[in-house]
Structure 1
Amino acid sequence: MSVASADPAAIVLGDRPLIVCDVDEVVLEFLTPFSAYLGSRDHELLPRSFRLNGNIVSRPDGIEASRPQVAEFLEDFYDAQPDWQTPVAAAADTLARLSAAADIVFLTAMPPRHQHIRRRLLDASGMTYPMIATEDAKGPAVSALHAGRPLPLAFIDDISANLHSVRAHAPAALLVNLMANVTFRALAPHPGDGVAIARDWAHAETLIGDHFRKPARG
């Protein structure tokens, strides 16, 4: 099995550019299969705002799921993720092309107790790049990975807070906002200045290629 860890120090990089990539909604579908999973539990995710809490309701009576219920749904979903999640269109092929010139590391916002299930799912999808699972802020993890090397760095994520965290700790990184689910992408807040918004993986590939051709700032 490929590397799965909660420690950036466990990842060995080559002397190449680095792409750090989120998993849910970036390389694996999340919101669409999670909505299907909720349906199997007689609940649904309503596209009322860009969050889970407050938008998951019971189908029989429309009552909002409590925070503990939402946490339970997520826990059960992650335990069963191979039964529900599938790769985002073009993600595997695009990463394969990018891996010819860059190291790729997945940085997934997930309790590390689920990391081996996710690792097997990614491997089965042909995306065998090293993976870090963490519930902590992503900026320090990206900074520890890159370690100030004078090589290009790109970070891809669907959540603005993660992009801003990386900007604070690795200011030379290209920040790419990418989200698979079109409905919830329309509800997401603008990620702010200095973040490139990718329409899809083809667009992300172009943005990253352009960034890698620029002189690195360290």
Structure 2
Amino acid sequence: MNAPDFMSLEKLRLADRPLIVCDVDEVVLEYLTPFTAFLRSRDHDLLPRSFRLHGNIVERGTGSVALDAVVDALQEEFFAAQEHWQTPAALAVETLMALGRDADIVFLTAMPPRHAEARRRLLQRIGLTFPMVATEAAKGPVVHALHGGRPLPVAFIDDIHYNHRSVGESVPDALLVRLMANQVFLAMAPDPGERVCCATCWNEADRLIRAHFQGVRRS
């Protein structure tokens, strides 16, 4: 991981209680739905043909698949304008606020750190002031660095299978919870693996996390 990401970790101070590490896009904030609206405002569209962006973003007038460089540029523009487009996923804010009374919560968002301040402002505007780490590095080593092998329960929430694989390898005792707001693309998502608990909504994620915390305390 590059230095700016580790420097942000050094500032975090966890309490002597469970830890929840939570992704942001498609978990806390809607991403695919507002991104599709953004694309249409830029004469492009996102077609739900497979679980990926590249190859599924097309020009609206011609139907031609957008070049990878164009997709990257559109994503960059969207991240810069995210505060005007993204909204909370259903039940995300109230569930996290309740969980935050019993556990430390850290947002781990896979985005260029140069857009972190805009994301921080957006999360604070909806009442979520928990610490945030923005990195494009693998998430497993980040969670390991955060948790540090403490004898306390840890849960990881994300929508992407390879992030669960990374965290599962780096923090074997972590509870892995898949949660994704967009149901259309969720139906095309790869199987995250047998270790991952698939939640259909934030209420179910809440139950899984609290059961895990109770189970670790009893063992």
Q: Which of the five TM-score ranges fits, normalised by the shorter chain?
A: over 0.9
Deviation track 1:65-117 (CA, whole Å, cap 9, x = no partner) reads 11110100000000000110000010010001101110000000000000000
Alpha-carbon spacing, 1:216–1:173, altered in 2? closer, same or farther (3 Å): farther
TM-score by length of 1: 0.96
Sequence identity percentage: 59
Q: Equivalent residue of 2:216, what SS?
A: coil
Q: Equivalent residue of 2:75, what SS?
A: helix
Q: Check conservation: 1:150, 1:216, Cα contact below 8 A.
A: no
> Which residue of structure 1 lines up, in the alignment, with residue 169 of structure 2?
168
CA positional deviation for 1:11? 1.1
> Which residue of structure 1 lines up, in the alignment, with residue 34 of structure 2?
33
The yes-or-no answer on 1:141 pairing with 2:142 is yes
Distance between the aligned counterparts of 2:101 and 2:129, measured in 1? 14
Q: Equivalent residue of 2:177, what SS?
A: strand
Letter in 2 for 1:76: E
Q: List aligned pairs for 1:170-185, cutoff 5 A.
A: 170-185=171-186
Deviation track 1:41-74 (CA, whole Å, cap 9, x = no partner) reads 0110000000000000001000101111010000
> Which residue of structure 1 lines up, in the alignment, with residue 75 of structure 2?
74
The yes-or-no answer on 1:188 pairing with 2:189 is yes
CA positional deviation for 1:38? 0.2
Q: Equivalent residue of 2:58, what SS?
A: strand
Gaps of 5+ in 1: none
Distance between the aligned counterparts of 1:82 and 1:115, measured in 2? 11
Distance between the aligned counterparts of 1:31 and 1:10, measured in 2? 31
Gaps of 5+ in 2: none
> Which residue of structure 1 lines up, in the alignment, with residue 106 of structure 2?
105
Q: Check conservation: 1:152, 1:211, Cα contact below 8 A.
A: yes
Provide the aligned length of Structure 1 versus Structure 2.
214
> Which residue of structure 2 lines up, in the alignment, with residue 42 of structure 1?
43
Q: Equivalent residue of 2:16, what SS?
A: coil
